[in-house]
Amino acid sequence: MSNSTSNSTPAEHNPPNLRAEVDGLIAEGAFDLASRRLAQLWRRDPASATASFVTSRLEQLRDKTRDKLALTKFKLAILRSFTVEPIVPLLRAEAFAYGIDLEVHVGDFNTYVQDMLDSQSSLYRFAPNAVVLAVRTDQAAPELWRDFADLAPEVAQQAAERVVRGYEQWIGAFRKNSQATLIIHSLERPSTPSLGVLDDQSEAGQSGLIRQINRELLRIAAGFHGVYTLDYDALVARQGSEHWHDERKWLTARLPIAAGHLLQMAREWMRFIVPLSGRTAKVLVVDLDNTLWGGIIGEDGMNGIKVGPEYPGAAYQALQRALLDLSRKGILLAVCSKNNIDDAMEALEKHPGMLVRAKHFAALRINWTDKAQNLREIAQELNVGIDALAFLDDNPFEREQVRAALPEVTVIDLSHNDVPRNPLEYAAAVRNCAAFERLTLSSEDQQRTEMYAVQKQRAGAEQSFQSKEDFFRFLEQEAELEPVSDLTLARVAQLTQKTNQFNLTTRRYTEPQIAQMAKQPEWHIFSIRVRDRFGDHGLVGVAIAHDEGEQCEVDTFLLSCRVIGRTVETALLAHLAESAAQRGRKRLVGWFLPTKKNAPARDFYPQHGFERQETNGAGSLWTLDLKSSNLRCPDWIKLKITTDLKNGR
Amino acid sequence: MTASTFEQVRNVASDIFGIPADRITAESSPETIENWDSMQHLNLVLAIEEKFGVQLEPEDIEQMKNIGAVATLVEKLQSTAR
């Protein structure tokens, strides 16, 4: 594909037309379509000039729709030791393509230490969701960067330790002043160390000491909630140090990164921003013929399709390994293929070259129906929103059809400027998609595929019972309620960020925010873990409430959809009511704030005896008199309540 | 300079400065384009380098006094690269 940039390809003529089309649509007031065309323009030509156009039209759309675009807002601050301004439009355009409206604050040159230490700084006034600390080695560790060969070994070692102590101190101050996520760039090693190959012979050399600092940064980050490292050194190496850097721009404009790589920097930041803003994909739906294997099973047969350890089948094995890695991160896999089911299943179950098997897929749609309809059904079967789906298909017509019918699906591009990618690049296309990034991994994530398999058995059993109550008794559900602890903090925060359907207020919290709340005596944060005769659902629900005068207000109440409708929600609410009554509160109150997705939670309060107290533009407030309430945990749920984890930490 | 190089440069400038391409001429310069400041000049340089796959020297960048000069420069760099 390397020759595709040298001549003007047909795609080159499209961008100016798309630009005119976007402007026409904005003038007509067709804002949704304008927004889709703008994203399409960005996908076709993700370059600096396009980024300026995209961000300027995004501003227009934001003004004209009074901020009603279906975008997630996110505020990012960049603290830096180099020029990042030209990267900002690229970053905002890339974020827009992921459905994120990104607001960016850039700190002054090299004021990052003051900015982090001073609680009144412009950094904290900006109230960012996340902060990137983009500092290069020449600034963070100048002694180790220049004239290194001049330093005595013990002086060099002390310099490295001083750098680490500095970071430790600033990050500690940052965490006291802000609950935002912090992303620290690791320090890059020099591409040509002072002493040449001699430097590599010792861990105490220039590269060795910088590596030592980077290891320490990982250790420091692990000691805080919501602090992560971005391996800048590895990023530079991956792109090639000699191509990445532009010495001319560095000396004249303090911009160390070459024009052609600014987008890579933006994309690396997106790998953090996408999971932090909750715009992730939960399911990857894959095609079979010429995507999961080479060739067409219905025509080429078991002996004809290509998948195995040798070229060309190796390309498809590499893709399958990437899929298995996603599955290990808790991303579900599904199949959507136009095929005869017997042909496809034979290959999925028996072909010796296959690494993924039928059991790895949580849903299968192998038929001749249109793919958009199949995707809708898959989302329904797996109980996720359409926007939680990603779609991988080698056929550009299928991709366009899905994009047009279901614009909220993340469609993975298997072409570049309208030229199909080589199958050898498929694995990288999946691995580089930021929608699959995760910043934490819970045990629930790792077992998700098995859990969905068990869920199918449950659904089967439900059919065979006459009454709901008989089914509930048969399930033998056990619920374990406990206050949030260090062990559950990450999962609790993750649930507030990801749960859309059974979520009464849809308030998103980061780990540091949850940790901060848990310290307040008037705040109560519970998690619920559910198990039944078929298996363990894991930690699936969160309730957050705080006492104020005579009442206790429910701030957050959410449950993963896979346990909804089995009365676990009643058990959790009953516990909130009982514990509030024990603390002497007279009323339990809570808001229902409607969103596009939380209709399943709409009648939750009235169904449990709450009375409507008020309604405003945002939602409705419900109240339950604790004295007269008969809200109880259903007797078919075995409840285990742990109360005193908070002090036991 | 050829028409096509000039047009491509003009399209890039239109995106960067946020004005319609048909209002940009070879004589358009920081004097006639309001927001052509030093940061936008850097953005223009980067967009040109990226679009045409060329590397501009600091001396070249100083010569970019107007859009016509940018297009001429791009053509010169492309012909020496071959």
Q: What is the pLDDT of residues A20-68, one digit of tens each?
A: 999 999 999 999 999 999 999 999 899 999 999 999 999 999 999 877 7
User: Radius of gyration of chain B from Cα atoms?
Assistant: 12
> How far apart are the CA of A56 and the nearest CA of chain B, in angstroms?
8
CA distance A17 to A19: 5
User: Touching check for A16 and chain B: CB below 8 Å?
Assistant: yes
Tell me, yes or no, whether A489 and A391 share the same domain: no
Question: Could you say which of A35, A68, A101 is where a domain stops?
Answer: A68
User: Is residue A52 domain-resident?
Assistant: yes
| Cα dihedral A456/A460/A461/A462 (nearest 10) | 100
Q: What angle in degrees, to the nearest 10, is found between the helix axes of A448-463 and A468-475?
A: 140
A497 and A475 in a common domain? yes
Q: What is the pLDDT of residue A649?
A: 35
Contacts of A445 (CB under 8 A, 6+ apart): A329, A330, A438
Q: What is the CATH number of the domain that holds A221?
A: 3.40.50.1110
Which residue blocks in A520-644 are alpha helix, DSSP H?
Answer: 568-582, 604-607
Establish if A2 belongs to a structural domain.
yes
Cα distance between residue A125 and residue A104, in whole Å: 13
Q: Quick one: tokens of A432?
A: 């580089």
Residues A416 and A527 both lie in one domain: no
Please indicate whether, in this complex, the C-beta atoms of B46 and A262 are within 8 angstroms of each other. Answer: yes
* A483 plus A511 within the same structural domain: yes
Cα Rg, chain A, nearest whole Å = 27
Q: Record the tokens describing residue A536, joined without a space.
A: 């363990």
Is the CB of A259 less than 8 angstroms away from the CB of B49? yes
State which residues of chain A have pLDDT below 50.
Answer: 1-15, 646-649
Smallest Cβ–Cβ distance between A48 and the set B46, B57, B58 belongs to: B46
Residues of A in contact with B56 (CB under 8 A): 248
ipTM: 0.94
* Rounded-to-integer distance, Cα A556 and Cα A508, Å: 9
How many separate domains does chain A show? 4
Taking the CA atoms of residue A604, residue A610, residue A615 and residue A616 in that order, the dihedral angle to the nearest 10 degrees is: -60
Is residue A49 within 8 angstroms of chain B, CB to CB?
A: yes
Q: Is A445 within a domain?
A: no
Question: Do the chains contact at B16 and A47, CB–CB below 8 Å?
Answer: no
With beta carbons under 8 A apart, name residues in chain A contacting B11: 16, 49
Residue-level pLDDT at A49: 96
CA-to-CA distance for A273 and A268, rounded, in angstroms? 9
We report the CATH number of the domain holding residue A625 as: 3.40.630.30
Sign of CA dihedral A111, A112, A118, A123: positive
Number of H helices, E strands in chain B: 4, 0
Q: Residue A350 carries which side chain, given as an amino acid letter? A: K
Same domain, yes or no, for A51 and A155? no
A170 within some domain:
yes
Give the C-alpha distances (Å, rounded to integers) separating A11 from A8, A68, A148, A403, A635: 8, 31, 49, 18, 64
What's the CA gap between A51 and A93, in Å, rounded? 6
C-alpha distance from A238 to closest chain B C-alpha (Å) = 19
Which of A52, A83, A246 shows the shortest C-beta gap to B18? A52
Determine contact, residues A287/A366, Cβ cutoff 8 Å. no
Say which residue the tokens 């530079």 belong to.
Answer: A236
Whether A473 and A427 share a structural domain: no
Mutate to test the interface with B, among A58, A60, A249 (most CBs of B within 10 A): A249
Torsions phi, psi for A615 (to 5 deg): -135, 135
A455 domain-assigned: no
Q: Whole-prediction pTM value?
A: 0.83
The residue range of the domain holding A326 is 283-436
A460 in a structural domain: no
CA distance B71 to chain A (A): 16
Q: Can you give the pLDDT at residue A16?
A: 56
Judge whether A52 is closer than 8 Å to chain B, CB to CB. yes
Token pair recorded at residue A594: 């409607």
Say if the Cβ atoms of B47 and A53 lie within 8 Å. no
Residue contact B61–A85, C-beta within 8 A? no
Which of A243, A277, A311 terminates a domain? The answer is A277
Buried b (16+ CB within 10 A) or exposed e, A329-349: ebbbbbbbbbbeeebbbebbe
**Chain A residues inside the 8 Å CB shell of B43:** 48, 52, 86, 89
**Does some domain include residue A164?**
yes
pLDDT for residue A6? 37
**Rounded distance, CA A114 to CA A122, Å?**
10
- For residues A508 and A413, membership in a common domain is answered with no
Task: Return the pLDDT at A10.
Answer: 36
Question: Using CA atoms, how far apart are residues A80 and A77, in angstroms rounded to an integer?
Answer: 10
Q: Which of B39, B47, B51 sits opposite A85 (nearest CB)?
A: B39
Q: Which residues of B touch A52 (CB under 8 A)?
A: 15-16, 18, 43, 47
Residues A103 and A181 in one domain: yes
* Residue A513 and residue A567 share a domain: yes
Dist. CA A580–CA A461, nearest whole Å: 36
Q: Is A616 helix (H, G, I), strand (E, B) or coil?
A: coil
What are chain B's domains? 3-81 (1.10.1200.10)
Amino acid (1-letter code) at residue A92: R
Same domain, A90 and A58: no
Specify if A452 maps to a domain: no
Cα of A79 to nearest chain B Cα, Å: 18
The answer to whether residues A507 and A418 belong to one domain is no
